[in-house]
Amino acid sequence: MIADTQNFKPFNPDPIAVLSQSGDWIAPFALTLDDETLKTIYKHMLAARLLDERFIKLQRSGKMSFVAPHSGHEAPQVAAAHAISKGTDWLFPYYRDYAMTLALGQSVLEILAQTTGSRLDTAKARQMPMHPGSKTLNIFTGASAIASHIPPAVGTAISMKIRETGQAVLTSFGDGATSEGDFHAAINYAGAKGAPIVFLCENNRLAISVDFNKQTGSETIAIKAKAYGMPGYLVDGMDVLACYYVLKECVENARAGLGPSLVEAQVMRFGAHSSADDDTVYRSKEELELMRQRDPILRMRRFLEKQGLWSDKAEEKFIKETQLAFQTALDTLAEAEKVPLEWMFDDVYAELLPHLAQQKKEFLG
């Protein structure tokens, strides 16, 4: 146990929170994170928000073809990155999880190389934007098909259990994914086999534009865990420290052989579903303004300010440094040569098959 968190009861009908909206500590246990960790968590959230804003600018200027905004989702994503063991545990994210990979340690250059399809992209520019992945950080490459990454996550966790590696897996997804068969088949199998995995649902109540109540008759996503034989936790997804404490405990329980768990973080998506979506069709400006009053970054900043750990000067300095890092990465990418089209033949097989070799020869003329 990482703290006196016995009050984190599964299937609690009220979302778990440890910070009030005004930034006060309201948990029934003492804060155990040191000052530097608290500031780092906030910096990761703020950097992720700035990155999201830069994504949108890049897409509108024609340098990115697609964006799935993550503003409003920063709390559970950053918390997840801090809850798992970097480079040891495995992360199976979905396409809105760049706050998670950034906080885990993926460089800005690598992220922007992937999203812009640069020659410097470790995936060789053969993946859609917003599909993070990292071999060194054990981040399974994101997938376009909703919930299709959840079964491989469970398979990986079961492999860890069989081999007794002491590792854990965390997989994240939106509420829309819980309406897919892949989700149900995977989580059912994880429960049956006691897989060391944490299922994190970032529930913004909008599967693109379909309201949560039209997706399921269930009161919450967390309550579904009962049917699969595992604990389910409902968390205030706008409270980064609540997300951290719950996820940390679930990850440690998984690693200790106590099996899987399902965490539902109730978040608010501030942007459209993607750059191909017009969210004004299904929600009003007034609704969005109310959402932004619960901004997870503002809540964490208020907490830090009350602890004497943050100030306007620190904020200004960090934003300036972060924007400079973004621009430096973009300048590096601008200097890189274009992606060779013949890369499409690479890495399909360990050895290029004769018919592909012939196609490559004809393509190159």
Kind and range of the H or E element at 242? helix 240-255
Beta strands in 42-165 (DSSP E): 90-92
DSSP bridge pairs for 189: none
Task: Determine whether 244 is an active site residue.
Answer: no
**Nearby residues of 65 by Cβ (< 8 Å), 6 or more positions away:** 59, 117, 128, 129
Cα–Cα nearest to 51, from 100, 120, 121, 117: 100
User: DSSP characters for 297-361?
Assistant: HHHHHHHHHHTT---HHHHHHHHHHHHHHHHHHHHHHHHSPPPPGGGGGTTSSSS--HHHHHHHH
Out of 184, 282, 294, 302, the active site residue is: 282
Question: Annotated catalytic, 94?
Answer: no
Nearest one of 110, 93, 292 to 199, comparing CA atoms: 93
DSSP 254: H
- Which two three-digit tokens encode residue 210? 């379909």
Phi-psi region of 209 (alpha: psi -120 to 50; beta: other; left: phi over 0): alpha
Cβ contact 133:88 at 8 Å: no
Q: Which residue has the tokens 């405990």?
A: 249
Sheet holding 90-92, edge to edge: 90-92, 169-174, 197-203, 261-266, 232-236
CA distances from 150 to 147, 156, 161, 213 (A): 6, 10, 17, 23
**Active-site position among 96, 255, 269, 301:** 269
Residues 29, 284: Cα–Cα separation, whole Å: 39
The active-site residue, picked from 49, 131, 273, 301, is 273
- What is the set of active-site residues? 269, 273, 282
